[in-house]
Amino acid sequence: MKTIFYILAICLTIVSCQKENTANSIVSEFENRILNSESWEYDVHYKMKYFSSDEDTLNYYSNCRLIKHKLDTIFGGSFWIKNDSIDRYYDLENIYIINHNSKKITKFFPKKGQDGVIRGNTVSGVLDSYFLKPNRLSKYLKDSTIVAKLNDTLIGKKNLNTIEFAFEDELPIEKQTKIFYFNDDNYLKDIIYSVKFQNEWQYNEWHFSNEKFNKVNDKVLKSEFDRLTKDYEIEDYKEPNPKEMEPLAIGLKAPKFKGLRFKEKDSITLQDHNGKYVILDFWYKDCFPCIKAIASLNELRTKYSAKDLVILGLNPFDNKEKNKEKLNDFIEINKMSYPTIFVDHKVTKEYKVRAYPTFYIIDTKGKIVYSKVGHSEKNEKEIDSLLKKWIK
């Protein structure tokens, strides 16, 4: 009997000494490692499928070296990103885009607002490893609006702990989830983000490998950059002329164009609507500001007679055969009450469309009386106010 009790006691001791993984313990260990590390180097395979795409929109392999600097208010630290023939280096003062094919380096000044070369594109994706901006996971856990689930899963031959965060819907954005995969040592190995928008899904994936902590410093990056500058030409980035970014000016004759109506499949021209006011909305399906503008254009379509006002949605992107079924669903979901017109990029060039949406109003004589880039409630009210004056 004593032997049985002795064995039972040993078993209970082993169970009680085992490390119990909870979402809090995994996140705590990961963030403590991050907080106690000055640098992190890793390889990352970054993939993204945008809403309308049926396959990966991006498939990006990079090597990233990040060095933490808490006082840096732009990115949270310096970094060097290698990808194919292009490197990107930030030394806390400037961003350098290094083209190894042309042996040219373009210098950007983020403190003057030139950080867009990194932010909001693929490069910002590969940087999003939760190193330069730690404590985000623990904030997720404390947020009562976010539901967290801990699971374990087998990927290949590796057993990983997963923490899934489900975020509140912010319609029309819904079903946002972010899943973090940690190995037995609580190193972050993968992140998968998914979100649904109008029956379409977007996925972002990060797959990390070859992680090294505290193996690189600013001196190493500076030395590498100095070596390159001996053979490479450096030039400052030149901001585009603001005038070149503006749409066509009021008072100009509106360029003629010919397009194809999406559903009716017949051709249409600007001249077909001589004697009427015409709103031209340059848009495409995956442009969120374009989508936000649809409701106000629908209201205008209801408010003003078709005898006086024509609204045309000029679309240069969604005319591929494989996209047309999705476009049809999109039009039905958003209840678009004005036609979509497929135009080629020659038309967008003639109308100086640099961003979407871009709006024009053409008067009864074919002249431009309004032009604006972007959508806002202020612009909605402005257009309605002008139409009230012009259309009696």
**Whether 98 contacts 228, CB under 8 Å:** yes
Paired sense of beta strands 200-213 and 267-269, if any = unpaired
Count of Cβ atoms closer than 10 Å to residue 145 Cβ: 8
Domains along the chain? 20-239 (2.50.20.10), 243-390 (3.40.30.10)
Q: What radius of gyration do the chain's Cα atoms show?
A: 27
What separation, in Å, do the N-terminal and C-terminal C-alpha atoms of the chain show? Answer: 102
Please report, as a single letter, which amino acid is at residue 367.
Answer: K
Q: Bridge partners of 164?
A: 149, 179
The number of residues making up the chain comes to: 392
Q: What is the pLDDT of residues 358-386, one digit of tens each?
A: 999 999 999 999 999 999 999 999 999 99
State the pLDDT at residue 50. Answer: 84
- Encoding tokens for residue 294? 């649809």
Give me the pLDDT at residue 51, please.
83
Nearest one of 282, 300, 384 to 340, comparing CA atoms: 282
> Residue 156 has what pLDDT?
62
pLDDT at residue 75 in the model: 94
Euclidean distance between CA atoms 341 and 264, whole angstroms:
10
The most distant pair of C-alpha atoms in the chain lies apart, rounded to whole Å, by 105
Residue 302: partners with Cβ closer than 8 Å, 6 or more residues away: 337
Name the residue among 376, 353, 199 with its Cα closest to residue 289: 376
Edge-to-edge strand list for the sheet holding 86-90:
147-155, 158-166, 173-182, 188-197, 200-213, 39-49, 58-68, 77-83, 86-90, 95-99, 104-108, 233-236
pLDDT of residue 21: 76
pLDDT value for 8:
35
Structure confidence at residue 157 (pLDDT): 58
User: For position 84, what pLDDT does the model report?
Assistant: 84
Side chain identity, residue 293:
A
pTM of the model: 0.84
Question: What pLDDT, on a 0 to 100 scale, did the predictor assign at position 243?
Answer: 84
Q: Cβ(32)–Cβ(139) under 8 Å?
A: no
Each residue's pLDDT tens digit in the chain (392 positions)? Answer: 444 333 333 333 333 344 467 999 999 999 999 999 999 999 999 999 888 777 778 898 999 999 999 999 999 999 999 988 899 999 999 999 999 999 999 999 999 999 999 987 778 888 888 999 889 999 999 998 999 988 877 666 578 899 999 999 988 889 999 999 999 899 999 999 999 998 889 999 999 999 999 999 999 999 999 998 899 999 999 988 888 889 999 999 999 999 999 988 899 999 999 999 999 999 999 898 999 999 999 999 999 999 999 999 999 999 988 888 889 999 999 999 999 999 999 999 999 999 999 999 999 999 999 999 999 999 999 999 999 999 98
Residue with tokens 């360029």: 255
